[in-house]
Structure 1
Amino acid sequence: MTNLSGPHQQQGDPKPAPRQVVASFDNYADAQRLVDRMSDGGFPVEHVRIIGDELRTVERVVGRMTKGRAAFAGAASGAWFGLFIGLLLAIFTVGPVWIVTMLTALVIGSFWGGVFGFVAHIATGGERDFDSVKSLEARRYDVCVSAELAAEAARFTQGP
């Protein structure tokens, strides 16, 4: 659990310092810009909180997941793992054999990664035939400060 009270507030302290909303924004970037302006202006930003309200998960579909794409993604992941194992094994080799060891591990990792990616996609039975990126967003971002600093913080909300 995050302590949203002041920086010197102890977790066991029953009464957190009161906060006041200085500005509200529809996106995080605008809230971040305000805090950056406050920091540049010398405001003690350790008393500032950006609070996201009404959190939601947003899943952006980026494409169709085919057997080929699943195999390719698995092969790429397996190649990285194979490269890592190859580097570990190459430490114990002498002479130019280390390159062969690394490349062999990379090819084997890529092959098995592709096989596992392909099989894993088939195992879903078409349940999820798309690829997506998930993110956590808020509907509103409030910039809050300690009540005693609210008047000073308000001067930063009048634009750049």
Structure 2
Amino acid sequence: MDELIADLLQETWLPLPVIAWRLLLATLLGALVGYERERRARPAGLRTHILVCIAAATAAVLTIEIAHLSAFQTDGIRIDPIRLIEAVTAGVAFLAAGMIVFARGHVHGLTTGAGMWLAGSIGLACGLGFWQVAVIATLLAVIVLTVMRVVEGRLLGKDRRTQRRDRQDAKK
């Protein structure tokens, strides 16, 4: 019975408040990236980006925890943290690919797919404790998703009404 209780109350290498902070930060930063997609009424919006970010952060925290488990401290077992990045990238790529659609000669969903991929990277950074990288990446994403839309419109000579009309035509 003591073994069962000990197994249920697995001690973590990282203090629990640190784990909670990393997951909370991933939630907040994922929300910032997803907000713009939600505002634009894209299929993968706020909740999707948050969940991708939390999932990646959780995988990163678990990788740190697994690397410090005594069961994995033997010479016969090798842990490669790069596999974590590959696994998260593959999983997010699967989701993002589902967002990309080619219809009537136009590609839709590329920005949303790229945002999901970025949310996964931000989550990894949060989970691994590189919050500075995560915050900078999030700020850059918000700038690209908001400011660049205005710059694009001006460079292409389109105003918001023309862009809106183009999107409505694409949906038909």
What TM bracket, shorter-length normalisation?
Answer: under 0.3
Task: Give 1 or 2: higher helix fraction.
Answer: 2
Task: Give 1 or 2: higher strand fraction.
Answer: 1
Larger Rg: 1
